[in-house]
A and B are shown apart, each in its own frame.
Chain A
Amino acid sequence: MNDNLKKWLPWIAVAAVALIVIVIIAVNSGGDDEAAATTTTAGQTTTTAVEETTTTTVAETTTTTEAGGGAPEAGPLGAVTVAPGEDIQIRSVEAISGDVAFLGVPNQRGTELAITDYGPIKGHNVTIGTPLDDLCSAEGGQAAGQTVASDEQVVGVIGTSCSGAATAMSPLISQAGMVMISPSNTSPALTSDLAGTPGENYNPGYYRTAHNDLFQGAAVAEFVFNQLKLTKAAAIHDGDPYTNGLATAFKNAFEKLGGEIVAFTAVNKGDTDMTGVLTEVAQAGPEVIYFPIFMPEGGFIAQQVGAVAGLENVVLIGADGLLTDNFMELKATEGMYFSGPNLDYGNNKSEIGTTAADFLAEYQAAYGEAPSAAFWAHSYDATVLLLSAIEKVSVELDDGSLFIDRQALRDELTSTKNFSGIIGTLSCDQFGDCGAQRISIVLHEDSSDIEKGKSNIVFEYSPGG
């Protein structure tokens, strides 16, 4: 054992040194602005001499602003100045790895395509840099948020994919004075309860084009109680804030209508055998099961429910997380209902003229496949919304640089009214809910015709028109 260790020691040492060298190189090359940020803080705490010698981006920013002459005063949140020839920096933070990658990858691609379609803003290209990963978790959101917030040149973020990640990221982005627009966060906690009370995780600078879960929960309850005329329901979530929130929203709305939730339970992510949970649900004798979860667990439930005594004729309702081709192609999903954002985009035109059909053709051409989740249009609209807000508030300076005031950008986004998007008309409320808020319930009848299933609307819900 000792001999072995001795033999390996030099190699371990070499590896350690190599690692340190790599880290140093990475910090110096990739993180110019990070380095700048650290030196600035160092300068503030020690001597002013450091500030004079370091040529940080921050320093450049202020000097060019002064030199430019007639440049607007930066607002309370500061401003970004994009030097001539430089790109406008936005970031994409989506769940692009792990088992929710099917959601995050099309979101990120939606952003990329929107940037391409939008073109340069006043002579400056827009870039998302290296796509960041929200890991669909609070930890991932925290890490990505820190990376973004430490980069002073970043104007705004498109993301996150998952509400859990946004919970951690939104305060960081907010403090940095930036904005974030999520294409697919739906948790009410991130915005408001729709009655004027901000959610516990609401922070200024947070916006989203996705709907608020409360709408979806209410829509399903309404549909089950008033249209299907069923009164005993079960709800199954998977412990995720998104699925839990949606199932709870459904439960509350359904009970308010006078229905009875006979079972409210959960599966674990990664479970394959659902007999246990289904047996437990069967015991309560529901007429309908709402399971707003994801693949693969949703697929396992749909496939195994038929074999459980007592659930042979139960009505199954899934949510937008299951409005995916790989779920809907399962024979067992025939006859299922799905709640979700209204995906019948028809000829809705985005502010820059793109329709859903245009987008899908572009997506197919660029990536060789169809989007694997439903929020690509939300992502496209979120990006166009951000870019056009930047275009509106940015000011060209005499030297060709672009001045973007952070507070002005927030004000511009908050005041969004009747903005055309692929998903419909976007209007932001004061807590950042900008989505079209059109919820529809579709009936999926034929597993060989998924597109028909997605557009076969049997119930529509859009409070406030």
Chain B
Amino acid sequence: MTTTATTPTRTFRFSWTDSFLWAIRVMSIFVIVWGFVGVIALGFEGNGLSLAAWKQLTIAGLAQGSMYGLLALGYSMVYGVLGFINFAHGEVFMVGAIVGFFTANALFDAGVWESNFILSILIVLVVAVATSTFTAVIIEKVAYRPLRNAPRLIPLITSIGVSFFLQNAVQLLVGPAVKSYPAPPSWLSDPINVLGFKVPGTTVLVVVLATISMVGLWLFVERSATGRSMRAVAEDKEIAALMGIDVDRVIVTTFAVGGAMAGVAALLWALLFRGVSFISGFLPGIKAFTAAVLGGIGNIVGAMLGGILLGLFEGLGPNVILRGLAWQIPTALAIVLLIAGAAVVFGGRVVHRNGIVILGASAILMGVVGVLGITIVIPGLSQLKDVVAFTALVLVLIFKPAGLFGEQLGQEDRA
């Protein structure tokens, strides 16, 4: 009571939040290293997944991820320009996929799907892209433009409303059942050999088409005049308008381009999974939004790579990390880890480097687990893929809060 305005002295202050964060760091490093090493060790012991299985998971993750990437572009671009999350973007994708389905079905009934598949998917592509683009533009004009100057939360909530509206409208119009695109011809769906990977041709086509679209979009944004105005509007709407840029036009273009990418994603979905229903846009939309955040929202390259990374996390994550927990750490190694860990923790404290202390603590934890002979076998591993993917996401964001490739936001958003 008597001491006033104390000088900042180095006192040990215990905080639950800090210790919790520390524990999380130690645990996550421990689990990741144990799982990772374990999965390799299990592989050598012959109890792990076969090489073919790993390749399969990688390819599947890549294909799924490129779809997330395409969708993530729509979220990221709109966020970059307008600063809100367009939650209806998943539904823009779904509408394209549904209309594409009816086109594909008509082509199939006419016999074109089988006689001239390339032409058919080109037609479906054009229809899906046109539908999604049109939907996105209409949404912008009807639902978001009147709210241009409203607080940021209002268009966000509107977008959730639009999303429900589109879902229910499609359910009413075409019914609740899942509709399946006609199967691609066998010359496409049969596995082919790519760089030692036996991959279904459809998957290759999906990855190639996604890559082409992404590169195309990147060139459009970085090199074209319209792209330049988009970046200018994203940076500062008012100054862009002063420079003679038609802001409304640019915003519509942004929605249109995002919609077009969703249309491409719709075609890829049709090739890869084939089943669509009015609810198909919801989860991919959420995942794609996550991918956009993972890559750094507002950042186009980030959205693409974030999508692919999320797909890989989902595909490989449960198997890379969780499967390895079934590996028992050998006792000898455990004892070494205990001693080395203790030394490292001590060393870390001496040089005041928290990172080193965390590493040491993780090693001690591994040692304890090894000495006790604990193994964890998780039943139904792949059910946890979303958990693993989102945990990975949270970890990435803890270490890099602005996403892997950094956010790219305008003046107002940074403020």
Residue positions of A touching B, CB distance < 8 A: 1, 4-5, 7-8, 97-99, 101-102, 105, 239, 264-268, 270-273, 275-277, 279-280, 282-283, 295-296, 299-300, 303, 307-309, 324-327, 329-332, 369, 372
Contact = CB atoms under 8 A, between A and B. Distances in A.
B158 to A, nearest CB: 13
Contacts, number: 125
A343 B282 CA distance: 34
B383 A268 contact: yes
B56 A105 contact: no
Given A299-B274, A308-B56, A309-B52, A272 B64 contact: yes
A8 B152 CA distance: 12
A4 B151 contact: yes
Given A276-B385, A280-B382, A369 B274 contact: no
B277 A296 contact: yes
B279 interface: yes
Given A99-B277, A265-B382, A372-B175, A270 B283 contact: yes
15 contacts: A1-B151, A102-B177, A264-B380, A267-B383, A268-B385, A270-B283, A272-B273, A279-B56, A279-B319, A283-B49, A296-B178, A296-B275, A307-B56, A307-B200, A308-B56
A435 B302 CA distance: 56
B177 A279 contact: no
Given A299-B178, A299-B275, 14 more contacts: A8-B150, A98-B279, A102-B175, A102-B178, A265-B380, A266-B380, A272-B269, A275-B56, A275-B61, A275-B315, A276-B319, A283-B53, A299-B274, A330-B180
B176 A273 contact: no
A105 B282 contact: no
A357 to B, nearest CB: 22
A99 B273 contact: no
B179 A101 contact: no
B3 to A, nearest CB: 42
A329 B180 contact: yes
Contacts of A7: 149
A279 B53 contact: yes
B381 interface: yes
B382 A309 contact: no
Contacts of B318: 276
A296 B98 CA distance: 14
A300 B60 CA distance: 13
B354 interface: no
A101 B200 contact: no
A99 B279 contact: yes
B382 A8 contact: no
A308 to B, nearest CB: 7
B37 interface: no
B314 interface: yes
B160 interface: no
A273 B175 contact: no
Contact of B178 (A270, A295, A303): A295
Interface string B47-62: 0011011001100110
Interface in B167-183: 168, 171, 175-180, 183
Contacts of B177: 102, 295, 324-326, 372
A326 B178 contact: yes
Given A279-B319, A295-B275, A326 B49 contact: no
Contact of B183 (A264, A309, A331): A331
Nearest to B311: A273
Which 8 A-B pairs have CB atoms at the shortest separation, nearest pair first? A101-B176, A275-B60, A276-B382, A296-B275, A277-B382, A265-B380, A270-B283, A295-B178
Contacts of B315: 273, 275-276
B178 A282 contact: no
Contacts of B50: 309
A332 B175 CA distance: 23
Contacts of B283: 270
Given A279-B57, A307-B191, A324-B177, A4 B381 contact: no
Contacts of A325: 177
A98 to B, nearest CB: 7
B379 interface: yes
Given A265-B382, A268-B383, A280-B381, A372 B176 contact: yes
A15 to B, nearest CB: 11
Contacts of B273: 272-273, 296, 300, 303
Given A265-B381, A267-B382, A303-B274, A102 B53 contact: no
Interface string B144-165: 0000011100100000000000
B386 interface: yes
A272 B20 CA distance: 35
B76 to A, nearest CB: 21
Among B177, B283, B318, chain A packs the most CB atoms within 10 A around the CB of B177
A105 B278 CA distance: 15
Contacts of B314: 273, 276
A273 B60 CA distance: 7
B171 A369 contact: no
Interface string B63-85: 11000000000000000000000
Interface in B268-309: 269, 272-277, 279-280, 282-284
A1 to B, nearest CB: 7
Nearest to B52: A309
Nearest to B202: A307
A118 B56 CA distance: 56
Contacts of B191: 307
Contacts of A5: 151
Nearest to B168: A97
A162 to B, nearest CB: 14
Contacts of A303: 273-274
A369 B177 CA distance: 12
A265 B64 CA distance: 21
Nearest to B154: A8
Contacts of A270: 282-283
A277 B383 contact: yes
B352 to A, nearest CB: 42
A266 B387 CA distance: 14
Contacts of A271: 385
B114 to A, nearest CB: 12
Nearest to B179: A326
Interface in B308-347: 314-315, 318-319
Contacts of B200: 307
Nearest to B274: A303
Contacts of A239: 383
Nearest to A105: B176
B35 to A, nearest CB: 15
Contacts of B385: 268, 271, 276
